Chain A
Amino acid sequence: MSPARPAQSSPSAPEDPPVVNDGVEVVRAVLEPAEISRALSRIAHEVLERNKGAEHLVLLGIPTRGVTLAHRLAARLASIEGTEVPVGTLDVTMHRDDLRRQAFRTIARTDLPEGGIDDQIVVLVDDVLYSGRTIRAALDALSEFGRPRAVRLAVLVDRGHRELPIRADHVGKNLPTSTLERVRVRLSEVDGGEDVVSITGGVAK
């Protein structure tokens, strides 16, 4: 379990040990705005280092928050390297393998950059990497649009519990969690307020 930070949104919650009482969930903030910003800057540098520059790069965000992160990453790449990296959106809903079990999911837009993805280095961007099923769906979705030279994966948080042989190339923070917990990513562009990554509830007895 990662060290708990006192939760700002629920000051009355007991700090140690965190417990769930009658549906009152404990929220622990694990990444704060400055940390999220630093993690993204580091990922931007890693992407450029790995790719030896910004050439042939295409960033594809997975809705909803992956798209926001992809745009932020692109802004950083532009400020470091001085070149505009195309950003797109890749919706994976219709390629998921759990549609039958999960309640209805809304479908978001898919917008690929004008040049397409053929022979490009595609960097998929998502907020949380968990079972790996979203990424599998993304790889399937991607194959419908073309054949990238390589596909890489950048995530803000890797919380473990993979169900498929998938790993991220660039990780903002590794966050060991219990499967009972929920990791929530809030970004100012989407959710308003401050950026925050928090872990909610679900402490095993």
Chain B
Amino acid sequence: MRHLLSTADLSQAEAIQILDVADQMAATQKREIKKLPTLRGRTVVNLFYEDSTRTRISFEAAAKRLSADVINFSAKGSSVSKGESLKDTALTLKAMGADAVVVRHSVSGAPHRLAHAGWIDGTIVNAGDGTHEHPTQALLDAYTLRQRLVPDAIGADLKGKRVAIVGDVLHSRVARSNVTLLNTLGAEVVLVTPPTLLPVGIDHWPCTTSYDLDDVVNGGHGDLDAVMMLRVQRERMHDAFFPSAREYSRRYGLDARRMNRLPEGALVMHPGPMNRGLEITAEAADSPRSTIVEQVANGVAVRMAVLYLLLSGQAEGKDA
């Protein structure tokens, strides 16, 4: 594995390996001294063309806990606002000797372009590109699911687990990455969304779909092990996809009433940032079922695992 661009590139063994390494990384984060010397002398660049809190901080913490040097780049306040192209920025980073570039871009496929255009030597990690993929988010969701739902987690997949992903699937790279990864790990996925927010070509996705959240919550597609709420991405919505926020919230929001009808032990997940009151109520978000804060903590461990896996043994890979 040289780059992490899409969860579709991961085999089941590779995905489980990342989760297993993340488990060990999480164990190191319970120690008094959290920093490990593993990536000493390597440089990780966070190249963020789009706003982010969690993902950027999480990648920065992960790289720093592994002793890598971190350079943060955000498009705002950089030469990008003077009109510099992605290529020229990439060439600059190459000249500075970046070993890994963590990239978030509003255009789908930008990380793929960076990885394959030959502008840059380093490893590319996709931290979210447009409405395409967000693989580390899917990995940390899978890690959280496995940790909470599988008793003997090391080496295990998610066979037999059923996860509903609810909300704005059309604009969600999290949903796309999650459907692929959960399917790779053997879990079943039900997408619940208004018809207007269902992407084209959904028939080819390895999942089932529904327009009725109540039916799914009541077990219409089988008992759920987790419900993953997606953020309504207003910044990407240039049309009216639903009549009103209130109607969306009534039909597709997770409130206490719906949450309490879920099977016992079923988890409530959200990749963040949340629109409290729109897709999820405060009651649901702050309930004991909610793994939302846990997901953020797990994000650091998973990203440490990804950086470790991509950056170790690299010299050998270059010779070959």
Residues in A lying within 8 Å of B, measured CB to CB: 91, 94-95, 99-110, 140, 144-145
Q: Is B313 part of the binding interface, using a Cβ–Cβ cutoff of 8 Å?
A: yes
B residues in contact with A140, CB < 8 Å: 37
Interface residues in B297-317 by Cβ distance below 8 A to A read 308-309, 311-316
Q: Is B150 part of the binding interface, using a Cβ–Cβ cutoff of 8 Å?
A: no
B residues in contact with A101, CB < 8 Å: 313, 315-316
- Select one of B17, B25, B66, B313 contacting A100, CB under 8 A: B313
List the B residue with the shortest CB-CB distance to A105.
B312
| A–B Cβ pairs within 8 angstroms, 26 of them | A91-B24, A94-B28, A94-B36, A94-B37, A94-B38, A95-B38, A99-B312, A99-B313, A100-B315, A101-B313, A101-B315, A102-B313, A102-B316, A103-B313, A103-B316, A105-B312, A106-B17, A106-B20, A106-B21, A107-B25, A107-B308, A108-B24, A109-B24, A140-B37, A144-B31, A144-B33
Cβ B312 vs Cβ A107 within 8 A:
no
A141 to chain B, nearest CB (A): 9
Interface centre among B37, B314, B316 (most CB of A within 10 A): B37
Give the complex CA separation of A94 and B36 in angstroms: 7
Q: A94-B36, A104-B309, A109-B27 given. 16 additional CB < 8 A pairs?
A: A94-B28, A94-B38, A94-B66, A94-B308, A99-B312, A99-B313, A100-B313, A101-B313, A102-B313, A103-B313, A105-B312, A107-B308, A109-B24, A110-B24, A110-B28, A140-B37
Give the complex CA separation of A140 and B37 in angstroms: 9
Give the complex CA separation of A103 and B317 in angstroms: 8
Interface centre among A100, A102, A105 (most CB of B within 10 A): A100
B residues in contact with A91, CB < 8 Å: 24
B residues in contact with A95, CB < 8 Å: 36-38
Give the complex CA separation of A51 and B312 in angstroms: 39
What are the 9 A-B residue pairs with the smallest beta carbon separation, nearest first? A107-B24, A94-B38, A99-B312, A103-B313, A94-B36, A144-B33, A100-B315, A101-B315, A104-B313
List the A residue with the shortest CB-CB distance to B304.
A94
Size bin of chain B's contact surface: 20 to 34
Give the complex CA separation of A145 and B36 in angstroms: 12
Give the complex CA separation of A101 and B318 in angstroms: 10
A residues in contact with B21, CB < 8 Å: 106-107
List the B residue with the shortest CB-CB distance to A101.
B315
List the A residue with the shortest CB-CB distance to B313.
A103
A100 to chain B, nearest CB (A): 5
B residues in contact with A109, CB < 8 Å: 24, 27
Interface string of B276-320 (1 = CB under 8 A from A): 000000000000000000000000000000001101111110000
A146 to chain B, nearest CB (A): 9
B residues in contact with A145, CB < 8 Å: 31
Give the complex CA separation of A103 and B312 in angstroms: 7
Give the complex CA separation of A100 and B123 in angstroms: 13
A residues in contact with B32, CB < 8 Å: 144
A residues in contact with B308, CB < 8 Å: 94, 107
A82 to chain B, nearest CB (A): 33
A residues in contact with B36, CB < 8 Å: 94-95
Cβ A100 vs Cβ B312 within 8 A:
yes
- Select one of B28, B312, B315 contacting A104, CB under 8 A: B312
A138 to chain B, nearest CB (A): 13
A residues in contact with B33, CB < 8 Å: 144
Give the complex CA separation of A145 and B32 in angstroms: 8
A residues in contact with B38, CB < 8 Å: 94-95, 99
A residues in contact with B313, CB < 8 Å: 99-104
B residues in contact with A106, CB < 8 Å: 17, 20-21
Give the complex CA separation of A100 and B100 in angstroms: 13
Give the complex CA separation of A145 and B33 in angstroms: 8
Give the complex CA separation of A156 and B33 in angstroms: 31
B residues in contact with A99, CB < 8 Å: 38, 312-313
B40 to chain A, nearest CB (A): 9
Give the complex CA separation of A201 and B308 in angstroms: 33
A residues in contact with B24, CB < 8 Å: 91, 107-110
Give the complex CA separation of A160 and B37 in angstroms: 27
B residues in contact with A104, CB < 8 Å: 309, 312-313
List the A residue with the shortest CB-CB distance to B1.
A104
Interface string of B6-28 (1 = CB under 8 A from A): 00000000000100110011011
B residues in contact with A100, CB < 8 Å: 311-315
